[in-house]
Amino acid sequence: MTGFTFVFYHFQVVVATIAFGMGIDKPNVRRIIHYGWPQSLEAYYQEAGRAGRDGKLADCILYANLERIPSLLPSRRSEDQTKQAYIMLSDCFRYGMNTSCCRAKILVEYFGENFGCQKCHLCDVCVDGPPERQNLKEEASILLQTIAAEYAHSYTMDDPYDDSVHFDLEDRRFGERSSLKMFVGKINEQSPKFLTTAILWWRGLARILEVKGYIREGDEKTHVQIKYPEPTKLGLEFVKSASEQDFYVYPEADMLLAKETDNRPYSSFSEWKKGWADPEIRHQRLERMQLKKQTKFRSPKKKRKRNANKVRPDLRTSRGRLAAKLAKNK
Ligand SMILES: [Zn+2]
């Protein structure tokens, strides 16, 4: 045992980057805490797998910013490798956003093994239970309708397009294709009556629609989260029959968070931070702060002046002159 590993084996807590501890097989690690999204489920499994090698129970906790879509760490990759890395990161992101399926089951089945049951009875989903299912019929249908409308010139309902062909050629004529953010912007403009206006929430819904096969990524690049949605044949059929069928789903982690933070003055802390990089927003905010400061400092002065007026002694009376003298001597 080298001095370094000796120290490692005797510390209670070790804070380190992911590179640390490779090859160190300490059997009784009782807790692994991840701070930030891992790059893949493979990486997460390997890192978290350092806990509980003695066969006893251990905790694995993952802290991640649900408001930010994770990005790849810089590395030298070919085009194919980049694509694969994005798919792996996306799988990891979706694992984190999941609120309804046992995490152990997802992990085990991800690696091609049979979990054999529905629940592990140990993970947060099994212990806390999934959130209440919601009927998002209206939201799902307006999002699908808005997306379908964008591509309306590319198909007719009687002659649905071939799902294997993307909309590329037709739609690029008018410039860039619309992003999910633009679709949500349109929905919010037309009608703010839906569950929320937060893009964070709609992002979650888009993922659910993608999993159900109603929309798909229209961009040839791979994204962690669906970015340029286009409708599928199944999605168009849903739009047609949306008024008849319910759409019960488990809201995902970002959707739950969006509802929680709906009432914050800024849609999220990171949004608020980001705002400072925009010169226009910065200017507005600074002006507002300046104004606040001024009114803060001015108002008590005004008050004092008014009060002073009120109690200014009347020098025409002996009582007033006496009061004035006393005030001066104070
Ligand atoms: Zn479980």
Task: Delimit the domains of the chain by residue range.
Answer: 2-80, 134-281
* Ligand 1: centre distance to CA 97 (Å): 14
How buried is 49 (Cβ within 10 angstroms: 0-12 exposed, 13-18 middle, 19+ buried)?
middle
**Contact partners, residue 312, CB within 8 Å, separation at least 6:** none
* Ligand 1: centre distance to CA 27 (Å): 23
pLDDT of residue 192: 72
How far CA 147 is from CA of 142, 193, 217, 219, 280, in Å, comes to 9, 18, 12, 14, 30
Q: How far apart are CA 35 and CA 288, in angstroms?
A: 35
* Ligand 1: centre distance to CA 180 (Å): 32
Which carries the bigger pLDDT value, residue 271 or residue 292? 292
pLDDT of residue 96: 96
* Ligand 1: centre distance to CA 244 (Å): 34
Which carries the bigger pLDDT value, residue 293 or residue 107? 107
* Ligand 1: centre distance to CA 127 (Å): 7
How far CA 204 is from CA of 99, 177, 306, in Å, comes to 11, 20, 56
Average of per-residue pLDDT values in the chain = 82
Query: What average pLDDT score do residues 245-252 get?
Result: 94
* Ligand 1: centre distance to CA 130 (Å): 11
Two structure tokens written together for 117: 């049951």
* Ligand 1: centre distance to CA 114 (Å): 14
Of all residues in the chain, what percent carry a pLDDT higher than 70?
A: 74
79-83, 149-153, 212-216, 230-234: lowest mean pLDDT where?
149-153
* Ligand 1: centre distance to CA 118 (Å): 8
* Ligand 1: centre distance to CA 65 (Å): 22
- The DSSP secondary-structure symbol of 195 reads S
* Ligand 1: centre distance to CA 229 (Å): 31
* Ligand 1: centre distance to CA 115 (Å): 11
* Ligand 1: centre distance to CA 260 (Å): 24
Two structure tokens written together for 291: 């104004």
* Ligand 1: centre distance to CA 105 (Å): 7
CB burial of 67-97 (b: ≥16 within 10 Å; e: otherwise) equals bebbeeeeeeeeeeeeeebbebbbbbbbbbb
Residue 270 has pLDDT above 70, yes or no: no
* Ligand 1: centre distance to CA 87 (Å): 24
The hierarchical CATH code for the domain 2-80 is: 3.40.50.300
Place of tokens 């097989």: 25
Q: How far apart are CA 44 and CA 153, in angstroms?
A: 44
Q: How far apart are CA 49 and CA 44, in angstroms?
A: 8
- The DSSP secondary-structure symbol of 152 reads G
* Ligand 1: centre distance to CA 119 (Å): 5
pLDDT of 65-123, one tens digit each? Answer: 999 999 999 999 999 999 999 999 999 999 999 999 999 999 999 999 999 889 999 99
Cα Rg, the chain, nearest whole Å:
30
* Ligand 1: centre distance to CA 120 (Å): 4
pLDDT of residue 22: 62
* Ligand 1: centre distance to CA 259 (Å): 25
* Ligand 1: centre distance to CA 100 (Å): 9
